[in-house]
Amino acid sequence: MSIAGETLEHALRIRERQQAAIAALGQRALAVRDLRVLLPEAVRLVADTLEVEYVKILERLPSGDASLLRAGVGWRPGAVGVLTMTDEAETRFLEVHGVVSGVSVVIGGPRRSWGVLGVHTRRRRDFNGDDVHYLAAVANVVAAAVEADAAQRRLAFLAEASTVLSASLEYEATLKTLARLAVPELADWCFVDVVDEGGRARRVAVAHLDPTREPLGWDTVHGGALDPDAPDGVSAVIHSGRPDLRPVYLDRRLGLCSLMLVPLTARDRTFGVIAFAAAESRRRFAPDDLASAEELARRAALAADNARLFQEAAGANRAKDEFLTVLSHELRTPLTSILGWARMLRSGKVASDATERALETIERNAVAQTALVDDLLDISRIASGTFALDAHPLDLVHVVEASLDSARPAIEAAGLHLRTALPDAPLMVAGDAGRLQQVAGNLLANAIKFTPAGGDISVSLEADTERARLTVADTGPGLSADFLPHVFDTFRQADSSLTRVHGGLGIGLAIVRHLVDLHGGRVSAASAGRGAGSSFIVELPLVQASTSERPAVETSPATLRGVRVLIVEDDRDTRELLETALTGFGAATRGVVSVHDALHAVATWQPHVVVADIALPGEDGYALIDRLHRLPVRTPAIALTGYARSEDRQRALAAGYQVHIPKPVEPVELGRVVALLAGGT
């Protein structure tokens, strides 16, 4: 055999050996999932196959400016797993070991090179193309193993996170645990903000590699993405419900270089944001990092929401227990007087001059008992969704005056000073006169109950272009910051102890909130704290006088003649039902299925009232009302939707709908509301 033939045969044997080594390494990579085992085996295999003194696998650190010697053959003892080198330091390292020749290939990664596989010798050697191809094949096996290892570690981390997160039933404790889990696995810094009762983001957790630096994270960076008050960043993610990936984000104060903002969402509600930030590691976040962060946030949101629901359920149970205790007391107290005086009168042992006082006491306590039962029935109707209003245009000034007339004797008996500021002109709203008088009466009764003798109660009524505003203020003990968010909750009282000074069930303000909701308004409470008094503000949408352009109609649905009603509903059966019902009441109707078609109909047909679903194809009902409000002429709109929760009602009304009606709707009731809006807006 010639020299050329022998050389070719030798090259083929080397090639076969390299291919066998690659196949063996691939099989081994499938069997061994631990890089701590696989990488040392890979470098030994390469050293034997290529007959070299040195082999290295360097992992590029997240900062990108240095590498860690993860596995090697031939290097000085103690270097593997410990030695971190910059490119310049690596050159000196090779010189120290007497390296003369070498070749390296890149080990790929999902978003950037993971590291380098290299071989070196102390003798002169020209590595050929087959050697490079062999190293590249080994690098591919290593890259696949690295990616599988990363995926496995992510799954293990998420599994551990789920276990840890589900172990806590404390809402904020769960979120603090979340921040601790994220560092250092996903980031160097982690911040958690949640939406408070007022709709503002509030920071509840901060974690960092060095706990002594964590106080810096509580002092938010004003104007930056981590500032809850800034228009972008945390606030934007809360409102959009979408994550925000910023591979490059510079913050010199905290040393940040990269940032991910991920929403915390449960049951279709974004209640917070978790921010992951890179600093000391100098890593740059990429889409796969965001995917891991989103999965962690999803699991954390479920755990936090479960903890919140548990706390709310426990609190509701406590409140109900306290309520039943108070209810028993409030029922038995008037009964004691009624039964006691009745039995004494029956026995004939009451002196003639005391008989009148006995009868007055019985009557007064019977009236109190009746009012108590009425309140309980109202709460029951509200809870079951059977509370109905007899709504029509009315003057709110007259309603408030009637409430004041009823309350004046009690105000005078309590030794209180009443100040009023009511307008001379009528303020027209759409509502049930009796129920609105109940709202004003409950607020006045609350002020009378809690204001000490000699104190002041002020009642004012004013309006802007869209809403009437009733304010009832007192100089009573005020409301603590802790209780203020719960002042309208059912079964909640600031003091439900046995030593409380004031009686009552604590449901009057809850009834106020529900009645105001049913009228399409909103109610709020304000207090500077204990001893500073309190104010309750009720806002109701105004109903303007009818114009010549829009026909006046009564509140009966049978009088919708001449009223144009645009129905925006993508479900054909529902749309046809609504058109048929309103046409039967005399209205002219037109049905469309999208926001685009609705806007075109408003521009060309000029309806008097819009009835719109919230869930629509493409843009939703909230986009529609926003676009309608930008038009020169305001068209009254009704949200007729299957979203029937209290928060859905509040959102629809806050967006600008005059009325929120949950499906299914009685055609007669819808006709009344359409007549009301068409005739008074």
Write the CB contacts of 356 (distance below 8 Å, at least 6 apart in sequence): none
DSSP secondary structure string, 661-677? EESS--HHHHHHHHHHH
pLDDT higher at 12 or 132: 132
In sequence order, what DSSP letters do the residues of 115-151 get, joined into one string?
A: EEEEEEESS-----HHHHHHHHHHHHHHHHHHHHHHH
Question: Rounded mean pLDDT of 78-82?
Answer: 80
Region(s) of the chain under CATH 1.10.287.130: 314-384
| Whole-angstrom distance, CA of residue 51 vs CA of residue 121 | 9
Hey, what CATH topology would domain 392-541 get?
Answer: Heat Shock Protein 90 (3.30.565)
Tokens of 237: 């993610």
Residue 613 has pLDDT above 70, yes or no: yes
Q: Please report how the helices 129-166 and 3-31 are oriented relative to each other, as an axis angle in degrees rounded to 10.
A: 0
**How confident is the model at residue 369, as a pLDDT?**
77
521-548: average pLDDT:
81
For 621-630, the CB contacts below 8 A with 24+ separation are 621/568, 621/595, 621/652, 622/651, 622/652, 622/655, 623/595, 624/568, 624/595, 624/598, 624/599, 625/655, 625/656, 625/657, 626/655, 626/656, 627/595, 627/599, 628/599, 628/602, 628/656, 629/656
How does the average pLDDT of the chain come out, rounded? 82
Coil, helix or strand at residue 644: coil
Residues 6+ apart with CB under 8 A from 556: 671, 672, 675
Task: List pLDDT tens digits, range 13-40.
Answer: 777 888 888 888 888 888 877 888 889 9
Q: Where in the chain is the domain with CATH 3.30.450.40?
A: 3-154, 168-312
Q: Tens digit of pLDDT for each residue in 368-410?
A: 777 777 777 777 777 666 676 777 889 999 999 988 988 898 8
C-alpha dist (Å) from residue 536 to 231, 439, 473, 504, 513: 30, 11, 6, 18, 11
Q: Look at residue 167 in the predicted model and tell me its pLDDT.
A: 63
Name which residue leads in pLDDT, 142 or 111.
142
What mean pLDDT do residues 245-273 have?
87
| Residue 534 confidence (pLDDT) above 60 | yes
Asked whether residue 626 carries a pLDDT value surpassing 70, the answer given is: yes
Q: Sorting pLDDT into bands at 50, 70 and 90, what band is 656?
A: very high
466: nearest Cα among 400, 543, 381: 543
**Pick from 204, 171, 223: which is nearest to 275 by CA?**
204
Say yes or no to pLDDT of 495 above 70: no
Greater pLDDT, 221 or 409: 409
Write out the DSSP string of 275-307: EEEE-TT-----HHHHHHHHHHHHHHHHHHHHH
Global confidence as pTM: 0.44
- Top-level class of domain 168-312: alpha beta
Instruction: Name all contacts of 613-619 with Cβ < 8 Å and 24+ positions apart.
Output: 613/568, 613/569, 613/570, 613/571, 613/574, 613/639, 613/640, 613/641, 614/639, 614/641, 614/643, 614/648, 614/652, 615/570, 615/641, 615/642, 615/643, 616/568, 616/570, 617/570, 617/593, 618/594, 619/594, 619/595
Q: Which long-range contacts (CB under 8 A, 24 or more apart) does 66-73 make?
A: 67/115, 67/116, 70/35, 70/39, 70/115, 71/39, 71/40, 71/42, 71/43, 72/43, 73/43, 73/44, 73/46, 73/47
Report the first-to-last Cα separation within the chain, whole angstroms: 106
Return all residues near 387 (Cβ < 8 A) that are at least 6 apart. Answer: 378, 381, 514, 518
Residue 506: per-residue pLDDT: 63
Compute the average pLDDT of residues 655-664.
87
Exposed / middle / buried, residue 58 (Cβ in 10 Å: 0-12, 13-18, 19+): buried
Whole-Å CA distances, 162 to 301, 439, 503: 11, 47, 46
Asked whether the beta carbons of 251 and 33 are under 8 A apart, the reply is no
Lowest mean pLDDT among 218-227, 351-360, 391-400, 413-422: 218-227
Token pair of 500 as six digits? 């409380």
- CATH number for the domain formed by residue range(s) 3-154: 3.30.450.40
| Token digits of residue 531 | 């001893």
Q: What is the pLDDT of residues 409-461, one digit of tens each?
A: 889 988 999 999 999 999 999 888 888 988 999 999 889 988 999 999 999 99
Confidence (pLDDT) at 150: 74
Residue of higher predicted confidence among 333 and 615: 615
Question: Looking at the domain that runs over 557-680, which CATH code has it been given?
Answer: 3.40.50.2300
Query: DSSP states of 648-660 as a string?
Result: HHHHHHHHT-SEE
pLDDT for residue 550 is more than 90: no
Residue 549: per-residue pLDDT: 39
Q: Quick one: CA dihedral 340, 346, 347, 352, positive or negative?
A: positive
Query: In the chain, what percentage of residues exceed pLDDT 70?
Result: 88
Residue 222 confidence (pLDDT): 57
The predicted-structure confidence for 166-216, as pLDDT tens digits, reads as follows 666 677 777 888 788 888 888 899 998 888 766 778 888 899 988 888 888
Contacts of 268 (CB under 8 A, 6+ apart): none
Peptide bond into 243 cis (omega under 30): no
User: What is the CATH code for 314-384?
Assistant: 1.10.287.130
> Which residues pair with residue 107 across a beta bridge?
115
pLDDT at 522: 92
What is the structure's pLDDT at 147?
A: 82
Sequence ranges of the chain with CATH classification 3.30.565.10: 392-541
**Spatial distance between the Cα atoms of 148 and 614, rounded to a whole number of angstroms:** 44
Residue 393: CA count within 13 A, CB half-sphere? 21
Does the pLDDT value for residue 315 go beyond 80? no
User: Which residue would you say has higher pLDDT here, 326 or 88?
Assistant: 88
Tell me the sheet residues that pair with 56: 72, 118
Domain with CATH 3.40.50.2300 in the chain: 557-680
